[in-house]
Amino acid sequence: MPMTEAPESSLIATHEGAAGTILMNRPKALNALNQDMIRGFAAAIADWRHDASVKLALLEGAGGRAFCAGGDVRAVRAAAVAGDRAAVEAFFSEEYAVNAGIADFGKPWVSLIDGVCMGGGIGVSVHGSHRIVTNHAMFAMPETAIALFPDVGTSFVLPRLPGALGIWLALTGARLNGTDAVHAGLATHFTTREALPALRAALIAGDIGAVARFCEAAPEASFAPHRAAIDRCFGAGSIPAILAALEAEGTDWAREQLGVLHHASPTSLFVTHELLSRGAKRDLAGCLAMELALTRVVVNDHPDFREGVRAVLVDKDHKPKWQPANIAAVDQAAIQAMFKV
């Protein structure tokens, strides 16, 4: 009988030189995190944390198109549709434990971010010490478009970005290039795709100082012309106030933001704003616990998440039918109640 090759693992964790290396290896799915990958992360963190021969962790994405496009929300939606609350709970609780494990790793956690980095991809990098982006990187937290909310500990990170950048990114899912990510505070260093092989080789040899040698100053952010307007509008203090401020701004940029917000899940906008307001006052552990509690309500009990993933990722008609259908109809008392379960 002809021999068949074993399927390649979706996460490849190895010990190379002085580094523990992790390759997210689902290139056809843009390296979206599934349960097996999350468990692989957890095992690697546990193995390497106290291994003196591992001087640093090095994280990469396979395929050249993406670092990691986020969590496998289609699988989460399927579990929610099936009423499998245990599967939903396992996915998010284990993912958030990995986020916490990265923050507490105690050694350099170096992410080489080349290509798409969204949602869960930000979660496995932003809590580490070195987030190195290239000229081909693209960051976004597009959760409001699928009626989720910025999670993976970003309810801690986003409120601590300069000015109102965090709430702008959270509500609109605005896309940042590598340079933008450095200026926003989501990335720590900027380099080119061409420099990555030599930088990787130096890191494998245990030379963390190579990061400074191979990286360069990031050019001006693409959002720089709108920086004052971002703070002025998205720092307004509530969803209705943000909308009013954008209307008053009257620019093409402001009209573009309004269009994005009116297409997002109205409930998700209010949940996200409240989440970041609360996250600004909590530590990372408190934020992760708050996010986990919120997933139980938003994913399992509210119809918008299933509808949002359907419209964007399953049927791809991009015509979600939100409940309620518009921002004015959102019951703000119901939003507050979501945080009390």
**Which residues are annotated as catalytic?**
71, 120, 143, 151
Nearest alpha carbon to residue 152 among 187, 118, 108: 118
- Provide φ and ψ at 68, rounded to 5°: -165, 120
CA 268, 273, 276, 277 torsion-angle sign: negative
Residue 102 · residue 130 · CB < 8 Å: no
Determine the length of the chain.
341
H helices of the chain, in order, are 35-49, 73-81, 85-103, 120-123, 154-157, 165-172, 178-184, 196-204, 210-214, 227-234, 239-249, 252-263, 266-279, 284-298, 303-309, 332-338
d(CA 238, CA 1): 66
Q: What is the largest CA-CA distance in the chain?
A: 72
Residue 264 · residue 312 · CB < 8 Å: no
Q: Is residue 15 helix, strand or coil?
A: strand
- The one-letter code for the residue type at 112 is L
